[in-house]
């Protein structure tokens, strides 16, 4: 086998190692995850019940409830992605394994994408459970829903979310104490400008401009259309997501590289748990 082939094989095995580790951890914390799932469902219900309180006709109420549910589900999905990406550094620092991971011959791209790949898989499972549990509880009817298209668009948007997540994952490298929380600030801002529970055109114009560069805008718009009207994947949602993914990933990796260098220069890779 050529040197390049050996290296590629080793990197793929390393990527599997990242996923394997997260599977072990998910198994160990499964009860905590179940408790967190209950909290997420309760939180989502508080949002979706707003549709009931609006006293609309049954059809409009159903549409509004579905719109809110899609927004809350994508909020939860994005929350998982950002949490996993931010914990790439924060959790390992707490456990003390960070130095061993950073001194391993695993490329940083593979390391971060392994973490992102698991986050997307895990996030999709949780988002699906959340969506169907709340839909069943409220009694939402979506006879025309095209769930395949909605999931496919979410998966496509995930490439951009991972790119942005990589940018936020650098924050705990710079500030071990407060960096992780800043990841949630990024998540909140992204969803606010993307029209998480409302149409983008209700926002001030300057926010609408920011919405254009947020991948969540196109995922929310496309997924709502797929679930409510059964629309398939629209090219108008796909091409911006592709462009953002192509740009976000290298920018995210470049930002992480700068953060890693800063941490190595100032001795901040040290454990803090």
Partner 1 sequence: MSTLATTTTEGPRLDRVTPAVEVRDLRKTFRRRDRSAGRFARKRPWPALADVTFTIARGECVAILGQNGSGKSTLVRLLSTLLIDDGGEARIFGHDVVKEARAIRRLVNRVSVEASFFKKMSAAENLSYAARFYGMSPRRTRTAIPEILARVGFPPERRDEAMENLSRGMQQKVALARALLTSPVLLLLDEPTTGLDPRSKLEVQDFIRQVRLEHDATILLCTHDMGEAEQLADRVGLLDRGRLLFLEPVADVKRRFGVDTLEEAFFVATGREFENEATEDDEYREVFG
Residue 97 binding partner 1, by CB under 8 A: yes
Coarse DSSP helix, strand, coil percentages of the chain, rounded to the nearest 5 percent: 80, 0, 20
- Tokens representing 220 are 């929310």
Query: For residues 38-67, which are near partner 1 according to CB under 8 A?
Result: none
Residue 178 binding partner 1, by CB under 8 A: no
65 and 140 Cβ atoms separated by less than 8 Å: yes
112 and 169 Cβ atoms separated by less than 8 Å: yes
Residue 6 binding partner 1, by CB under 8 A: yes
Q: Which of 96, 148, 232, 250 binds partner 1 (CB under 8 A)?
A: 96
Residue 269 binding partner 1, by CB under 8 A: yes
Residue 14 binding partner 1, by CB under 8 A: yes
130 and 41 Cβ atoms separated by less than 8 Å: yes
Judge residue 9's burial from the number of C-beta atoms within 10 Å of its C-beta, 0-12 exposed, 13-18 middle, 19 or more buried: exposed
For the packed helices 179-193 and 215-224, what is the interaxial angle rounded to 10 degrees?
A: 50
| Choice between 174 and 238, CB closer to partner 1 | 174
Secondary structure of 212-244 as H, E, C letters: HCCHHHHHHHHHHHHHHHCCCCCHHHHHHHHHH
Q: Which of 38, 42, 52, 100 binds partner 1 (CB under 8 A)?
A: 100
Residue 242 binding partner 1, by CB under 8 A: no
| Choice between 101 and 231, CB closer to partner 1 | 101
144 and 49 Cβ atoms separated by less than 8 Å: no
Q: Which of 36, 99, 199, 208 binds partner 1 (CB under 8 A)?
A: 99
Of the CA atoms within 13 Å of residue 267, those in its CB half-sphere come to 0
- Segment near partner 1 (CB under 8 A); pick from 24-32, 123-131, 144-152, 159-167: 24-32
How near is the Cβ of 268 to partner 1 at its closest, in Å? Answer: 7
How near is the Cβ of 30 to partner 1 at its closest, in Å? Answer: 11
Distance from C-alpha of 123 to C-alpha of 73, rounded to nearest angstrom = 10
How near is the Cβ of 123 to partner 1 at its closest, in Å? Answer: 21
How near is the Cβ of 91 to partner 1 at its closest, in Å? Answer: 9
Binding site for partner 1 (CB under 8 A): 1, 6, 9-11, 13-14, 16-18, 20-21, 24-25, 28-29, 95-97, 99-107, 176, 261, 264-272
């Amino acid at each position: 086998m050529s040197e390049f082939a050996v290296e590629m094989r080793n990197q793929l095995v390393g990527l599997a190692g990242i996923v394997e580790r997260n599977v072990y951890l998910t198994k160990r914390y499964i009860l905590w995850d179940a408790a967190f799932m209950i909290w997420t469902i309760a939180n989502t219900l508080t949002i979706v019940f707003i549709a009931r309180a609006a006293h609309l006709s049954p059809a409009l109420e159903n549409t509004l409830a579905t719109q809110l549910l899609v927004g809350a589900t994508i909020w939860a999905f994005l929350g998982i992605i950002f949490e996993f990406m931010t914990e790439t550094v924060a959790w390992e620092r707490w456990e003390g394994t960070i130095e061993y991971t950073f001194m391993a011959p695993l490329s940083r791209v593979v390391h971060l994408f392994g973490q992102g790949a698991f986050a997307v898989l895990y996030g999709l499972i949780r988002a699906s459970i959340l969506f169907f549990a709340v839909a069943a509880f409220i009694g939402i009817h979506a006879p025309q829903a095209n769930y395949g298209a909605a999931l496919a668009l979410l998966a496509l948007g995930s490439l951009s979310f991972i790119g942005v997540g990589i940018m936020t994952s650098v924050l705990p490298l710079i500030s071990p104490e407060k960096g992780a929380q800043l990841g949630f600030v990024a998540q909140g801002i992204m969803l606010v400008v993307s029209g998480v529970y409302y149409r983008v055109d209700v926002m001030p114009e300057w926010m609408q401009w920011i919405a254009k560069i947020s991948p969540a805008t196109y995922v929310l718009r496309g997924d709502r259309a797929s679930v409510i009207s059964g629309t398939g994947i629209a090219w108008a949602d796909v091409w911006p997501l592709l462009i953002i993914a192509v740009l976000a990933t290298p920018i995210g990796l470049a930002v992480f590289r700068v953060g890693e260098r800063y941490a190595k220069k100032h001795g901040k890779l040290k454990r803090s748990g």
